[in-house]
Amino acid sequence: MSSAEASKQAKIISELRVFIRKCLSDPSVSTKCMEIARELKNEPDASAKIAEKISASTIVRIPEQLSDADKIFLEVIHEVLDDEAALY
C-alpha cells in the first residue's frame, strides 16, 4: 500500500470515527437518518437529497462534495433500506 493510499484510508477512518461518536453521543441521530432515508429513498437523486436533509436536520454534516466516508455512509444507509425491504 502506498503512502497516499494509507493516508486516504486514515482520513476515511477518521471521518467515520467522528460520525460514530456523534451517533453514540446522540442515539436519535441514527433513527433520524433512517427516517429521512425512508422518506426520500424513491426520489430522483435520492442520495443527494438524503445527505442534504440529514445535514439540515441533525448534527451530522454532509458536504455537497462528498468525501469517501460520506459515500460509504450513504451506501450503508441504502443497504439498510434494502435489508428492510427484504424483510417485508
Closest CA relative to residue 34, chosen from 83, 77, 86? 77
Q: 50: alpha, beta or left, given left = phi > 0 and alpha = psi -120 to 50? A: alpha
Per-residue model confidence as pLDDT tens digits over 56-83:
999 999 999 999 999 999 999 999 999 9
Sorted by sequence, the CB contacts under 8 Å of residue 80 that are 6+ apart come out as 34, 37
CA 8/CA 42 separation, integer angstroms = 32
Cell 484510508: give the residue.
9
| Chain centroid to CA 31 | 12
pLDDT digits (tens, 9 = 90+) for 6-22: 899 999 999 999 989 98
Could you give the CA distance from residue 30 to residue 23 in angstroms, rounded to a whole number? 6
| Sequence ranges of the domains in the chain | 3-87
Is the pLDDT assigned to residue 88 strictly greater than 80?
no
